[in-house]
Structure 1
Amino acid sequence: MAGSSHVVDSSWEQQLNKMAEQLKTFLDKNGKEKSLKKSASIFHQMGLLYEEQSKQDESITKKLSLIRSAALLNAAVTRQPGNEQFKQSLKDFCSDLLKTAGAKILDADLLKIAQEDKEMAENMRKETNESLQQIKTIPYDVTIDEQKVLEAEKIANTKTIQAQITENYKNMMKFVSNECEKIMGNPPCKYSITGMGSLARYEITPYSDFEHIILLEEGAQEKDNYLQVLEYFRWFSVIFQTIIINLQETIIPSVAIPSFKHVTKPGEKEFFDAFTKRGISFDGLMPHACKPPLGRIEKTKKKPWTTELIKPVNEMLTYLDKDEDLKNGYRISDVLMNTCQVYGDEQIYQQFTEGVRNALQSDQPSHHERLMQQLNEDLTNFDAFKSLSALNVDSKCNIKRLVYRTSTLFISALGRLNSIHDGSSFAIIHQLNNNNIIDDETAHLLSYAIAVSCQVRLKVYMEKESQDDYVGEEQLYDVFDNKVFANLMDTVGERSMVDYFAIVHNLQDVLRNEDDLSNFRLNITLTPFDKFRMLYLLQLNVCIISDWESYSQEQPTNTLSEDELWIRYYVANAYYRMHKHKDSLLMLEWLEERDIEDPELKVAVMNNKASCLYMLDRFQEALQFIGRVKSESLNLNLSDSDKYSLRGELAYVSAVCQYGLKEYQLAIDQSVEASKYYARVDQRDVPGKEKIRANCFYHIGLRLYDLGDYDAAINEANKSLQHYEQHNGSVNDKCNCYSLLGRCHLERDDYDEAIQYFQTELDLRLQFVPSEKQDSDEKIQVVRSEIQICHENL
């Protein structure tokens, strides 16, 4: 890759760093802009600086500086669309770029081309919205036959929608490619613009990145003017990227401005472009991305290499067996295996795909080994069961990680393991079925899972008008008001979500437990146990009880399988979550009378029974059961992390029981023990472990307050508050800490400080409690009373 050195102008870098420092003063604690007018001025100045510096840069870094300039100038315009100076700067930049690139048409209007492409995007989005409205939500209580019909309709409709989006998206990119070719003049050789990622899989959205490479005809590298050939397509790519940036849907962090990271201190949030609606753009220039044709331009300390994705066919094929120098957070070999033709010479694209097939066949053993390694990594990183469990403590969920990748990654893996190179997940499933690797029922279930995953992602993006993967709330008033599950269900309905996770969990479970996938036959069915388990994980407690009432009438109770016993445990847990502790206890006691062989279930039943007894104020009995759980847990084959998690949970419940018995010192000791155990738990096993530790610190503070040790109580309350702040504790959790701090200072006659803490608590509660409920809210009444007491004492 020629010309990768950078002419360093320290004064220029100092100016950029100074501007980034100034921008920090306009950001909130989460790195979001507080004043668009002020930040727009900063972006405009930085954009002009990057354009000016590009004149000093050498070949490749010149192009990088211009791309960053385009992004920053567009950011300024979008934040102040009425600012004529900003608009003129952007217009001048586009004109100067064409001169720098040596374009044949110097008066081409890159802003007008972008506007035409934007109109195509808006039409695509309108069509997608209308099509999505036609997909019916499957009611929860339909019959099995009705459900199958509705599922088949959803699969067919989703296939049609994804095909429409893919075709529209390709047409947009063909239009821009054609314009770039006109602007740059006749190409020096034949070439193909080749799409990758979700575009090649027919799973693109109207807000997705354009991941692509530029393939050159074989033999181009032997020409005397090969450097000029490369320069033509590099400038082609810069102009293309500038047009896409002019759509004004490229977030600033995607062009990786070094100054923003340079001025950020450890623990601080970096600048986050929350204003720009993230939509159609190029793949980002961050170290873990870098899949545009210009590739990876800048080296980092940990990844000191560059890549370029403008190459003749055979040179591009060499990336298929490279590894160590291409791990940017993904493997280029993986993304090159599934591509599609977008624009240019079809024959060049066919030569490349033929080369990919030949390379994979000649390297079958090591290729299979790499695929298995990747599959095992994905099974760990995208474990549906653990991800759902984590949502119990998270206020938001990433639907791309939770819903989309938990299915599509593994369908893709099955395709590659069986040498199926069809692009879409639906096509892979169809071919697996034709090859008798999966049966008809499994093909239907997997196709349905893909349809649900695509629909969820499309609906979330279309509703937000942005490639925003999160559903839920950033800050919750109370952990018990967790809306993330409800928001998740709203996308496609309860029935589809339950079945989706039941299908993908079974798929992942089979893949995880299969040692040899070379002669693999996959058959999936959904049992009542599968569905009850997913209802339990999705916290659909009302559905569990409703389904149980009809299901239990059909099942004999004298011969119960292990799955049937687990179903009853889920029912008991649903009663517990619904605060029907007596009903839960009855079911748990019924289970205790059965001969439970599964040690995990036996411990779960006893553990829940201890919690029920505690909730019913039967503290001494609860403590006795905790002792039994400790004894029984020795029979479990647990990892160290799981052992610490269980012991931490038992210590935590013990602490609460000791408090109920007014044994304050014992309660403190148990809370300290719980905190120590959770500190040793792996974050992946218990994502909410730090919030639990914050709870422990808070309860230690409460007990110290009860014992009259106010200084020590203040220390624990501050420790708890700091933990909640760092780990997204709920507003109510933080308010409880402020309340405890206020009460401690009140007892010490520090009335001014007490008022500050109480007022902070009151202000937070008033933000989240509706105005019509504030006068009747017990906690608001209490804090107002405490503020009044402080004023009276003053």
Structure 2
Amino acid sequence: MAGSSHLVDSSWEQQLNKMAEQLKTFLDKNGKEKNLKKSASIFHQMGLLYKEQSKQDDFITKKLSLIRSVALLNAAVIRQPGDEQFKQSLKDFCSDLLKTAGAKILDADLLKIAQEVKEMAENMRKNNNESLQQVKNIPYDLAIDEQKKLQEEKIANIKTIQAQITENYKNIMKFVSNKSEKIMGNPPCKYSITGMGSLARCEITPYSDFEHIILLEEGAQDKNNYPEVLEYFRWFSVIFQTIIINLQETIIPSVAIPSFKHVTKPGEKEFFDAFTKRGISFDGLMPHACKLPLGRMERTKQKPWTNELIKPVNEMLTYLDKDEDLKNGYRISDVLMNTCQVYGDEQIYQQFSEGVRNVLRSDQPSHHERLMKQLNEDLTNFHAFNSLNALNMDSKCNIKRLVYRTSTLFISALGRLNSIDDGSSFAIIDQLNNNNIIDDETAHLLSYAIAMSCQVRLKVYMEKESQDDYVGEEQLYDAFDNKVFANLIDTVGDRSMVNYFAIVYNLQDVIRNKDDLSNLRFNITLTPRDKFRMLYVLQLYDRVISEWESYSQEQPPNTSSQDELWIRHYVADAYYVMHQYKESLLMLERLDRFQEALQFIGRVKSEILYLNLSHSRKNSYRGHFAHISARCQYELKEYQLAIDQFMEASEYFALVDQRDEPWKEISKANCFYYIGLCLYDLGDYDAAITEAEKSLQHFEQHNGSVNDKCECYSLLGRCHLERDDYDKALKYFQTELDLRLQFVPSEKQDSDEKIKFARSNIQICQENLELEMLYWTSLTI
């Protein structure tokens, strides 16, 4: 262990980098710790070094070093709770901090206070979990009236649960604020601890971080002792954060240790704190975060500025019209628009709230332009349908991005567009309804979507006992065996998940297609196409087919309808996935003869030309229909017809806008692969090799799944095997096997059919190579 005399012998940055390099040797390929005892020792050394360095820092970076120090010391204790040296270092830090801060109560026990807070948090979580268990999933097959009744019950239950958590969370933060104030002594002026983010929206979870600012009374900036006033609240914030960090729910990356990034080479995984339970903490110190009183304390090359969020009311209000120096990955003006009082002087908070309301009600072009710019960015980044489609090629789902922000961001935007200053999404919806912007049914649907988004997030966090937004597996292996949708649906049931995405898809579509949102009046009605679309995207293929069987009996066929064209696409693809190939073709043409089926498909694609669609959308339709028919023809062993259709599909996909078909390049690669497969079955191995190589290259360039690439290697191996080129065949089969073994659990490898097939092909190649060797050896003899 390095003593303090050693700590100052050389550049502290160099020492930190050396420690970070050492930590790398204890991490696996995903950046996770393999040896907790050794990593704990490194964190302890780094924590002591930051503490020592803080003595040399200026008045701002001193506080940054101390925050990093206490986070690292806690990390060491978390990993080795029985190490008395680690615990003593943490205790000494807390004692020394109070002296450095000039605290009034120097013998305050910050660790004991943290333990009291932890008990409050555990009670909150226990009560929340019990309440959440009472909220049942809605069965799929229910009459509409019964569904709506259960939906209304769920909305009411989630509102109650969120209100309880919000109140409990505020009480925790009031407790910490009160303790921090007493430790520092009487404040030099009146102030307000003001919450932001999900706390202000009444959508907080028992594992959320605390985004907040400190508002000072107006006029504090004119006092002679204003620098001392700011220092008081800066140290108040450091003590507050230290208590929160002592809960031991703050992951190390949130304090942004530069050395970890500095020693990471391009392509390497950065250090990832998978061991610390992520729970109640302050907002992180990363450049894109810093929604905390001390604000952004470090400059970066791309963002060479700092900002502080301890300010008098009017100075804080000026941020509502700024963004030139605050683009940390968010706009501070956006988060300041939605706040709540947590602790301190209520009147100061009311003054700030009134100032925010005045900005919301103003007609300032700059405010509206920023809002519209942010809204357009959100429509791209949180596009519900594209995000769902993307999960076809991923194995993990970020429920905060996919299920929470796809609804709450847009309800919030509608509130601000209509000068509604109530932060709760539910309250905004009620006000939109009261103002006749939406009707009763739309208000119900939107409220249900918000209830669903809150329930999903709460369930995932409570089950993991951590603020872990991911459901699913670590790595996607086979796109056709992807469990991410099943894991997502398990959280609240298939009926609720289908309805959620149908609602938010329509909401986003309304906002996206309105030229003038300042006079927006809209209503949402869920159509059969909405239902089929979401069933299909969520891979509930058996539901797609059963829904079609009911729908087709009630509705006469109408192939000129955009809605029915898409419904047929979803159902046809569902039949294909369920291995009902003839049914898939019949779905497209309603005829019994194969040639007439092809004619029908051509007719449907011709009818698309006359629909009011963009050029890109028409080609998307045509590509999907050609692709479905081609796959079915392949399964029916009509290889030449399948080749023609796959070529046609790839040509259509090439003409599609990436925004309309996010995975068009993967679809093209899939066409190339199937063309190669057809050519292989036709015996044209040279041409098959060309297509397989083209497919593999395309999958590599556009992030195809592991299984996609393995299938290409397998096809290339089989082609070379048929050409008696055993060396090349062996190379491809071995590459395929090695790749599959990386992603199939060891206990399943012996039973995996694709692995067994690859091993069998390798054995065939090796046996043939041995025969060749014996043959050439016999000739020389």
What TM-score, normalized to structure 2? 0.90
1:475, distance to aligned residue in structure 2 (A): 3.0
Matched AA of 1:376? N
1 CA distance for matches of 2:52 and 2:71?
15
**Higher mean C-alpha displacement, 628-637 vs 417-426:** 628-637
2 CA distance for matches of 1:459 and 1:79?
27
**Higher mean C-alpha displacement, 600-609 vs 576-585:** 600-609
Give yes or no for contact 2:730–2:766 (8 Å, CA) kept in 1: no
Matched, 1:58 2:74: no
Matched AA of 2:496? S
1:653, distance to aligned residue in structure 2 (A): 2.4
Given the alignment, which residue of 651, 657, 667 partners 2:688?
667
Matched AA of 1:703? C
Aligned partner of 2:776 in structure 1 is none
2 CA distance for matches of 1:8 and 1:333?
42
Q: What SS does structure 1 have at the residue aligned with 2:192?
A: strand
Matched, 1:38 2:38: yes
**Higher mean C-alpha displacement, 583-592 vs 348-357:** 583-592
1:657, distance to aligned residue in structure 2 (A): 1.3
Aligned partner of 2:551 in structure 1 is 551
Q: 1:558 to 1:21 in 2, by over 3 A?
A: closer
Q: 1:521 to 1:9 in 2, by over 3 A?
A: farther
Q: 1:323 to 1:65 in 2, by over 3 A?
A: same
Q: What SS does structure 1 have at the residue aligned with 2:187?
A: coil
1:777, distance to aligned residue in structure 2 (A): 5.5
Matched AA of 1:244? I
1:359, distance to aligned residue in structure 2 (A): 3.1
Alignment of 1:25-104 (within 5 A): 25-104=25-104
Give yes or no for contact 1:43–1:73 (8 Å, CA) kept in 2: yes
Give yes or no for contact 1:295–1:306 (8 Å, CA) kept in 2: yes
2 CA distance for matches of 1:769 and 1:690?
17
Aligned partner of 1:153 in structure 2 is 153
Q: What SS does structure 2 have at the residue aligned with 1:343?
A: strand
1:651, distance to aligned residue in structure 2 (A): 2.7
Q: 1:275 to 1:213 in 2, by over 3 A?
A: same
Per-residue CA deviations over 1:322-368 (Å, capped at 9, x if unaligned) read: 11211000000100000000000000001111112223444532211
Aligned partner of 1:720 in structure 2 is none
Matched, 1:508 2:508: yes
1 CA distance for matches of 2:170 and 2:8?
39
Alignment of 1:408-557 (within 5 A): 408-476=408-476, 478-557=478-557
Per-residue CA deviations over 1:73-118 (Å, capped at 9, x if unaligned) read: 0001111111111111111110000000000000001001101111
Per-residue CA deviations over 1:719-753 (Å, capped at 9, x if unaligned) read: xxxxxxxxxxxxxxxxx65456xxxxxxxxxxxxx
Give yes or no for contact 1:192–1:348 (8 Å, CA) kept in 2: yes
1:628, distance to aligned residue in structure 2 (A): 4.7
Identity, % of aligned positions: 73
Aligned partner of 1:563 in structure 2 is 563
Give yes or no for contact 2:710–2:736 (8 Å, CA) kept in 1: no
Give yes or no for contact 2:285–2:296 (8 Å, CA) kept in 1: yes
Matched AA of 2:79? R
Aligned partner of 2:748 in structure 1 is 769
Matched, 1:783 2:752: no
Give yes or no for contact 2:559–2:604 (8 Å, CA) kept in 1: no
Aligned partner of 1:186 in structure 2 is 186
1:556, distance to aligned residue in structure 2 (A): 2.0
Matched AA of 1:577? V
Aligned partner of 1:221 in structure 2 is 221
Alignment of 1:340-739 (within 5 A): 340-476=340-476, 478-557=478-557, 561-590=561-590, 592=601, 595=604, 597-598=607-608, 599=618, 600-629=620-649, 647-674=668-695, 688=704, 696=712, 699-700=715-716, 702-709=718-725, 717=732, 738-739=735-736
2 CA distance for matches of 1:433 and 1:737?
63
Structure 2: 5+ residue stretches without partners: 1-6, 591-599, 609-617, 774-781
Give yes or no for contact 1:472–1:484 (8 Å, CA) kept in 2: yes
Matched AA of 1:316? M
1 CA distance for matches of 2:260 and 2:554?
63
Per-residue CA deviations over 1:526-570 (Å, capped at 9, x if unaligned) read: 011100010010010011112122222212236863312322221
Matched AA of 2:677? V
Aligned partner of 1:314 in structure 2 is 314
Per-residue CA deviations over 1:383-424 (Å, capped at 9, x if unaligned) read: 111111111111111000110000000000111111111111
1:214, distance to aligned residue in structure 2 (A): 0.2
1 CA distance for matches of 2:230 and 2:658?
57
2 CA distance for matches of 1:139 and 1:44?
52
Aligned partner of 1:749 in structure 2 is none
1:676, distance to aligned residue in structure 2 (A): 6.0
Q: 1:82 to 1:636 in 2, by over 3 A?
A: closer
1 CA distance for matches of 2:228 and 2:640?
83
1 CA distance for matches of 2:431 and 2:509?
22
1 CA distance for matches of 2:18 and 2:401?
37
Q: 1:52 to 1:655 in 2, by over 3 A?
A: same
Q: What SS does structure 2 have at the residue aligned with 1:542?
A: helix
Aligned partner of 2:105 in structure 1 is 105
1:510, distance to aligned residue in structure 2 (A): 1.1
Give yes or no for contact 1:739–1:783 (8 Å, CA) kept in 2: no
1:635, distance to aligned residue in structure 2 (A): 8.5
Q: What SS does structure 1 have at the residue aligned with 2:289?
A: coil
2 CA distance for matches of 1:450 and 1:179?
35
Over the aligned positions, Cα root-mean-square deviation in angstroms equals 2.8
Matched AA of 2:689? I
2 CA distance for matches of 1:688 and 1:324?
39
Q: What SS does structure 1 have at the residue aligned with 2:11?
A: helix
1:11, distance to aligned residue in structure 2 (A): 2.2
Q: 1:710 to 1:267 in 2, by over 3 A?
A: farther
What TM-score, normalized to structure 1? 0.88
Q: 1:785 to 1:594 in 2, by over 3 A?
A: closer
Give yes or no for contact 2:394–2:476 (8 Å, CA) kept in 1: no
1:588, distance to aligned residue in structure 2 (A): 2.3
Q: 1:767 to 1:354 in 2, by over 3 A?
A: same
Matched AA of 1:230? L
Q: 1:402 to 1:783 in 2, by over 3 A?
A: same
**Higher mean C-alpha displacement, 277-286 vs 583-592:** 583-592
Give yes or no for contact 2:736–2:758 (8 Å, CA) kept in 1: no
Q: What SS does structure 2 have at the residue aligned with 1:445?
A: helix
Matched AA of 2:513? N
Matched, 1:162 2:162: yes
Give yes or no for contact 1:394–1:688 (8 Å, CA) kept in 2: no
1:138, distance to aligned residue in structure 2 (A): 0.3
Structure 1: 5+ residue stretches without partners: 1-6, 718-735, 741-756
